[in-house]
A and B are shown apart, each in its own frame.
Chain A
Amino acid sequence: MASADKLINTDVPEKDVFAFHFLQSLSNLRKQNPFDTPDQKNYRVRKIKKAAYVSMARAAGGSSRLWSRALLRRAAKDDNKIVRFSRRKRKVTWKISSKRRRSNQRAPVVEEAAERLRNLVPGGGGMETSKLMEETAHYIKCLSMQVKVMQCLVDGLHYNKN
């Protein structure tokens, strides 16, 4: 059997793509709001975090991954923006229910872990376990890439200050 990675399509965006999107969103943020008032800090933190996630989702190839789509949709909902995606309806929801009816052999250990994963990974609500694990793998790769980029940015900025 071929190696698992060849069967599953996990191509992670490059760091510079994400960095580009992220910096763009950050500069947008800076233009919008003044950040001096202390009571706004929490708000600002949240904005930055959201900007990070949104730019990550966009860098990850916007609509090709389920979790990125869900992320973008959630973010757009907060801003009351209307988001358009290509017509790819989620047909998996009915599949889950019918399979559950049929047999009760779902390894319960795996299933409860999958439940927890679904809460963590965005857009995991309507997915089957195998698909969910695919998404998780891609999500983990993207998250670690995001952390590395942000790390470099923080270090660079602080170092330059000194």
Chain B
Amino acid sequence: MNSSSLLTPSSSSSPHLQSPATFDHDDFLHQIFSSTPWPSSVLDDAPPPTSDCAAVTGFHHHDADSRNQITMIPLSHNHHNDALFNGFSTGSLPFHLPQGSGGQTQSQATASTTTGGTTVQTQTKPKVRARRGQATDPHSIAERLRRERIAERMKSLQELVPNGNKTDKASMLDEIIDYVKFLQLQVKVLSMSRLGGAASVSSQISEDAGGSHENTSSSGEAKMTEHQVAKLMEEDMGSAMQYLQGKGLCLMPISLATTISTATCPSRNPFVKDTGVPLSPNLSTTTVANGNGSSLVTVKDAPSVSKP
């Protein structure tokens, strides 16, 4: 009776083990040990059957002495593979030997938890598989679940973010954060340039209140800006960029600027180095000769007041 309760969970899945209504220890063990080799469907990555037989027969010998004290590990649906495979392949004796055959069903549950190694929880968390040597502590299970969830979300984020081929988790997270910042900056820049918003910014620089198109500026203002930028660039590029950005200007190589100015239709390529926002075709450009030889061009949006 006691043994029958052992096998009923596994009987449905394992084609190999029979579970008659009643049988005692002898029949049960005899059945297991006489049935060799295991069918390959039972074991996941099965070792060659010979080793199994060896372990089984070896165990059988030992078993003959203390047969009525051997208890099998309760086999659940999903994990009977692991339990049997782990138990037999290593040759260790994972079975606990309780004293007396009395409360065996009860002691099995406790036995399985105390043996450590190859224990398998029967019905606590059917979707979690406890591996050898790992604690089946619910906290760590929850931890692992959580980490898996996070990893899976990160994978889906990876497809969204361009340049998401980093394998390192930390750099991937940095990419994600930078991308969000970049998108927010794009929205901000676009909302600035909309409806001639930048017109205000550039009109503050060049004291022209009217909208002038190809404005090679109130050159006084431009020169001041140039000097300021050149000075800033000597110490730190970052601060120079920030200064320019505050004025609504940006920096780009001259070749690109010439391409833009000769273009007759708006093009969608990102010209700006900092933000990927394409510039509107109404541009006014000033050329700055940089200190270290390369010449850069500052471009500002034309003060065009558009009425939608």
Contacts and interface: CB of A to CB of B under 8 A. Distances in A.
B277 to A, nearest CB: 8
Given A140-B180, A159-B266, A35 B195 contact: yes
Interface in B135-168: 139-140, 143, 146-147, 149-150, 152-157, 160-161
Interface in A1-54: 4-5, 7-8, 10, 26, 30, 35, 38, 41-42, 44-45, 48-49, 52-53
Interface stretch (A57-65, A73-81, A82-90, A141-149): A141-149
Nearest to A149: B190
B157 A109 contact: no
A145 B37 CA distance: 60
A38 B204 contact: yes
Interface residues on B, range: 35 or more
A49 B187 contact: yes
Interface in B164-195: 169-170, 173-174, 176-177, 179-181, 183-184, 186-188, 190-195
B197 A41 contact: yes
Interface residues of A, number: 51
Interface stretch (B25-33, B60-68, B225-233, B278-286): B278-286
Contact of A146 (B143, B187, B209): B187
SS of A interface (majority): helix
A95 to B, nearest CB: 12
Given A110-B173, A129-B150, A8 B180 contact: no
Given A49-B187, A154-B280, A109 B173 contact: yes
Nearest to B149: A130
Nearest to B190: A150
B152 A7 contact: yes
B187 A147 contact: yes
Interface in B258-308: 265-266, 268, 277-278, 280-282, 304, 306, 308
Nearest to A49: B191
Contacts of B282: 158, 161-162
Contact of B306 (A109, A121, A158): A158
SS of B interface (majority): helix
B152 A4 contact: yes
A45 B306 contact: no
B266 A120 contact: no
Contacts of B153: 4, 8, 130, 133-134, 137
B282 to A, nearest CB: 7
A48 B180 contact: no
Contacts of B191: 45, 48-49, 52, 150
Nearest to B137: A103
A91 interface: no
A105 interface: yes
Interface in A99-145: 102-103, 105, 107, 109-110, 113, 116-117, 120-121, 129-130, 133-134, 136-137, 139-141, 143-144
B203 interface: yes
A51 to B, nearest CB: 8
Given A103-B143, A159-B266, A110 B308 contact: no
A93 interface: no
A4 B149 CA distance: 10
A10 B174 CA distance: 22
Given A4-B155, A49-B187, A155-B280, 9 more contacts: A44-B197, A45-B191, A105-B143, A113-B177, A117-B180, A121-B180, A150-B191, A151-B268, A161-B304
Interface of A: 4-5, 7-8, 10, 26, 30, 35, 38, 41-42, 44-45, 48-49, 52-53, 102-103, 105, 107, 109-110, 113, 116-117, 120-121, 129-130, 133-134, 136-137, 139-141, 143-144, 146-147, 150-151, 153-155, 157-159, 161-162
List the 10 shortest-distance A-B pairs measured between CB atoms, nearest first.
Answer: A41-B200, A113-B173, A133-B153, A143-B183, A4-B156, A49-B191, A48-B191, A150-B190, A130-B149, A158-B280
